[in-house]
Amino acid sequence: MSNVQVQHLPASDRSTKPRKTMGKLAMVFCCGSALISDGYVNSAAGTVNLFLGKLYPKQYKANHHGTIFTGIAYLGVIAGQLGFGCIVDRFGRKSSMLAASCIMIIGSALCAGAYGAHGSIDGMLAALIVYRFITGVGNPSGSVACSENSETTGINTRWSHMWFTLATDLSIDLGFVLASFVPLVLVWIFGDKNLEPVWRLTFGLGAIPAALVLLWRLKMPHESERFRQSAIKRNVPYRLIVKRYWRPLLGCSLCWFIYDFITYPFGLFSSVIVDSITNSSTKLTTVLAWNLVINALYVPGSFIGAFTVDWLKPKRQLLIGLVLQGIIGFLMSGLYGSLTQHIAAFAVIYGIFLSLGEFGPGDCLGLLAAKCFPTAARGQMYATCAAVGKVGAYVGIWAFPALINDFPAGAKQTSGPFWVGSGLAFLSALVAWYFIPELKEDGMRDEDEAFRVYLAANGYDVSQMGHHEDIDDESVDEDKKEAIY
């Protein structure tokens, strides 16, 4: 018998660490989960666009309501990203996230209740366009806080990128799937001849996930430790920030522009698949069911990528995803005629094409943009990259129809954009390889320290950094805070 004495910790001590870890992880998902409502609202708009075109074909086409309705939300997102980017750095992560959730709820409710003066259809459509802009402004600003909480004390930094990706990109993709499922169920309930309650409820139900997240966020006890220590409320040294970080800022912005330029317009090709599979069926439930299947194809790439990103590292996974997506796109272009004769094979390869987009840039661009900048400027740097990305989406929606028309009629007209998209994927890989740095484990803390040293070396008074009053308030018992979750 060994004489070694085994000391057993009290039960209360043994349970403390897991409980604290769960509380920290809850903070990560609390910050990122609002992206479900973002994904839902933006994706649902495409389906509502279809419904409005069927209900009001004359008015909808006459004044380009369909195109404006699709694009105006991206302009709202651009305005919201840039505005909230300043707010999250100056006034805190929590306040901006609460404001964004409120705007999303109000915008969804306004869209559901849109009404024109004296029952005017044109007035109602114009009101919808304005409300879609408002909803876009409420684009959630939680990714920055999510990134900071994923590398906080109590969470194993070996898996921090995985938690961030599950809380953000996977949430968006689940929102896409939900936005495809809800209208399908509503059409089953109301029928395809009674679409007004369908489109109104589709928009209105988008307020529910946003409201649930708002209630969750109201319980958030504090800003992240990293923000309290490193924030700059006034006298922001923009010149020094740009001088040090222009390279990753440019790289993340260009890659995000190209990614959204490819991804959002490529939604146009879902109609090609649906049309082929259904033999041009006009049955609305059939079209919606296949739309659900296509949106579900995003999820595997995002989910798998979340579990590989810490192992492969974000920049390397981004490059792998872009190169593989480009190769698949070129194969689809070259074999387009044969593949469309076997639509099941085409749908599978198209699904791989979409999944690789989520595995690479979908999972990693937001992660890189959120973690390669210092805490003091993270909100504005991330917001700039995301806003440039949405400019790419807006430009792509207008450019792709003209691009398609430039190809000869027939198979080349539908396969041609795959050549363009694949070429842009390789271009994006080159940009990422040259401009974007790789992230290190627990690198945010090191970058904040290096940034502080850099500012001091260039004559900036670093005593201005940090929310000192918030740090003093941290005498509140941590266990009580985490018990909320």
- In terms of Cα–Cα distance, which of 243, 175, 160 is closest to 459? 243
What's the topology of domain 24-463?
Growth Hormone; Chain: A; (1.20.1250)
Give the span between the Cα atoms of 39 and 257, in whole angstroms: 18
Task: Report the chain's terminal Cα–Cα distance, integer Å.
Answer: 44
pLDDT in the model for residue 18: 62
pLDDT in the model for residue 294: 80
Radius of gyration of the chain (CA): 24
pLDDT in tens, 36-49: 888 888 788 878 88
- ∠ CA 382-154-485, nearest 5°, is 85
Quote the tokens at residue 80: 């919201």
Contact call for residues 387 and 81 (beta carbons, < 8 A): yes
- In terms of Cα–Cα distance, which of 105, 125, 141 is closest to 63? 125
pLDDT per residue rounded down to tens, the chain (485 residues) = 445 444 444 544 444 556 566 767 777 887 777 788 888 887 888 788 888 888 888 877 776 676 777 778 788 888 888 888 888 887 777 888 888 889 989 999 999 999 888 778 888 988 998 998 898 887 666 788 888 888 775 677 788 899 999 988 998 899 989 988 999 999 999 998 899 999 999 999 988 888 888 888 787 766 667 777 888 888 889 999 999 999 999 999 999 999 988 877 666 556 555 655 566 566 788 878 877 888 888 899 999 999 999 999 999 999 999 999 999 988 888 887 777 777 677 777 888 888 999 999 999 999 999 999 998 899 899 999 999 998 998 888 777 767 767 766 665 656 777 788 889 999 999 999 999 999 987 788 889 999 999 999 999 998 888 765 544 444 444 444 444 34
* Residues contacting residue 174 through CB under 8 Å, at least 6 positions apart: 36, 39, 299
To which residue do tokens 């259809």 refer?
121
Cα separations in angstroms, 95 against 76, 89, 411, 465: 19, 11, 51, 19
Give the span between the Cα atoms of 77 and 141, in whole angstroms: 11
User: Residue 232 CB: number of other CB atoms within 10 A?
Assistant: 21
Give the span between the Cα atoms of 132 and 281, in whole angstroms: 30
User: Residue 268 CB: number of other CB atoms within 10 A?
Assistant: 15
Give the span between the Cα atoms of 245 and 249, in whole angstroms: 6
pLDDT in the model for residue 4: 46
pLDDT in the model for residue 83: 85
Quote the tokens at residue 23: 């509380």
pLDDT in the model for residue 432: 96
pLDDT in the model for residue 393: 85
Our CA dihedral for 159, 163, 168, 172, rounded to 10 degrees, sits at 110
| Interaxial angle between packed helices 196-204 and 35-55, expressed in degrees from 0 to 180 and rounded to the nearest 10 | 170
Contact call for residues 26 and 160 (beta carbons, < 8 A): no
pLDDT in tens, 353-374: 889 999 999 999 999 999 999 9
Long-range contacts of 326-332 (CB under 8 A, 24+ apart): 326/422, 326/423, 326/425, 326/426, 326/429, 327/422, 328/352, 328/353, 328/356, 328/422, 329/353, 329/418, 329/419, 329/421, 329/422, 329/425, 330/418, 330/419, 330/422, 332/415, 332/418
Give the span between the Cα atoms of 338 and 336, in whole angstroms: 6
3-state secondary structure of 441: coil
Contact call for residues 203 and 111 (beta carbons, < 8 A): yes
Contact call for residues 374 and 448 (beta carbons, < 8 A): yes
* Residues contacting residue 142 through CB under 8 Å, at least 6 positions apart: 30, 31, 32, 33, 34, 35, 93, 97, 100, 168
What letter represents residue 89's amino acid? D
* Residues contacting residue 281 through CB under 8 Å, at least 6 positions apart: 287
User: Residue 248 CB: number of other CB atoms within 10 A?
Assistant: 18
Partners of 232 in the beta sheet? 465
pLDDT in the model for residue 270: 62
**Looking only at Cα atoms, what is the longest distance across the chain?**
91
Give the span between the Cα atoms of 422 and 91, in whole angstroms: 41
Quote the tokens at residue 366: 């937001």
pLDDT in the model for residue 196: 93
Burial 47-72 (b: 16+ CB within 10 A, else e): bbbbbbeeebeeebeeeebeeebbbb
User: Residue 464 CB: number of other CB atoms within 10 A?
Assistant: 15
Quote the tokens at residue 165: 């990706």
Give the span between the Cα atoms of 202 and 226, in whole angstroms: 39
* Residues contacting residue 291 through CB under 8 Å, at least 6 positions apart: 47, 180, 184, 270, 274
Beta strands in 167-232 (DSSP E): none
